Amino acid sequence: MRLLLLPACLLFSFVLAAQSPENAAEGARKKLAAKDFAGAKVDLTKLIESSPRLKLAYNLRGQARMGLDDLYGAIGDFIVALELDSTYAEPRAFMGEAKLALGDYEGAIEDLDRAIRHNPNVADAYTTRGFAKYELDDLQGAYFDFSKAVEIGPPNGDRYFNRGKVKAELGEYLSAIDDYNKAIEIDKNDFTSINNRGVAYYHIGDIPKAIADYDKAISLDPKDATKYENRALARSAREDLKGAMEDFNKGIELDGTDPETFYLRGVLKHTMQDFEGAIGDYTRAIELDDSEPTYYDSRAVSRTEKDDYAGAVEDYSTSIDLYPSDPDSYLQRGLVKLLMNNNYDGCLDLKKAEEMGSPEAKSHIKKNCKSK
């Protein structure tokens, strides 16, 4: 029986001969839809060999290569498709998407601009361009593109979520909540939108609704440390310090690599007057990220409470090295030096803080730094 089978390449050539190029391309498109990217690529390569000027084949093979994470190969195929037809919007849009994935945000926007000019009614092109603008911190531009994608439709929870996220970053929390609501109406189990709506509620001061959203998001996705951190902050705002501590502990149990969670738990421990525990958490945060001056400032405050003045001065000094334009670090270091009876150096720090615009420094100088 095996002798009756044609070699694979000959069999494929025979099939292609029996099909029109359009039918062969449609078969490859179905494989793309089924995420059989490797199979689609093989079929399209054969089609290109038999029809080397078929722009659709290059466009589809580029999409197959994107599915296989061969982004440079995909861009090469899209370029050929565009050489065959410079007005062909689809490969131009996909090339923009590939460039976005490669971090070439300006190049992505350039391609998507041209794709949209040739076909202004494709929502995904606006979405992709919105992501590129977002990465370049052009939040207003991203807002416009995500809004355009929503306008073109059809209704899609991700499009509402994208616009809501940008609105929140622009401080438009009430409007962001409207978009998150629409995303949740489309998918009631969209825990990311539910969590982000909670963040928006937190920022407008509606703490009960924020906590309710965090509770729901955690019930749907209980393995995400960030959601516990969010709820911890909301519980802290309600002075539920025990509940906040439980959430910070759970967040660290799930992900012990985020310095910010250790820092925030340290702040809570300091509030609860567990200064030794706070110092331990700030130290861990510094071990994970030694470039953040706030961590050193906060540890210095807790060290001062423990009468570890030398340690506090060392932390303030490191903070100043990292961020020398903060007058408050000079002010606080100066005050600690005064506690150590090092009035000369302490007054130098206070005067430096005053020169940098600290409103508190002047009264401390008047009290502690009398000139002879």
Q: Give per-residue pLDDT as tens, 63-90.
A: 999 999 999 999 999 999 999 999 999 9
pTM: 0.85
Does 15 have pLDDT greater than 60? no
Between CA 3 and CA 7 the distance in angstroms is: 10
Class of domain 1-85: mainly alpha
Cβ neighbour number for residue 82 with a 10 Å cutoff: 20
Please state the rounded mean pLDDT for residues 321-342.
97
pLDDT band at residue 22 under the 50/70/90 scheme: confident
Between CA 302 and CA 271 the distance in angstroms is: 10
Pick the range with the lowest mean pLDDT from 3-7, 48-52, 238-242.
Answer: 3-7
DSSP codes of every residue in 116-171: HHH-TT-HHHHHHHHHHHHHTT-HHHHHHHHHHHHHH-S--HHHHHHHHHHHHHTT
Q: What is the pLDDT of residue 328?
A: 97
Between CA 33 and CA 52 the distance in angstroms is: 23
Give the amino acid at 324. P
Does 372 have pLDDT greater than 60? no
Between CA 159 and CA 177 the distance in angstroms is: 14
Q: Give per-residue pLDDT as tens, 188-246.
A: 999 999 999 999 999 999 999 999 999 999 999 999 999 999 999 999 999 999 999 99
Locate the domains of the chain by residue range.
1-85, 325-372
pLDDT band at residue 102 under the 50/70/90 scheme: very high
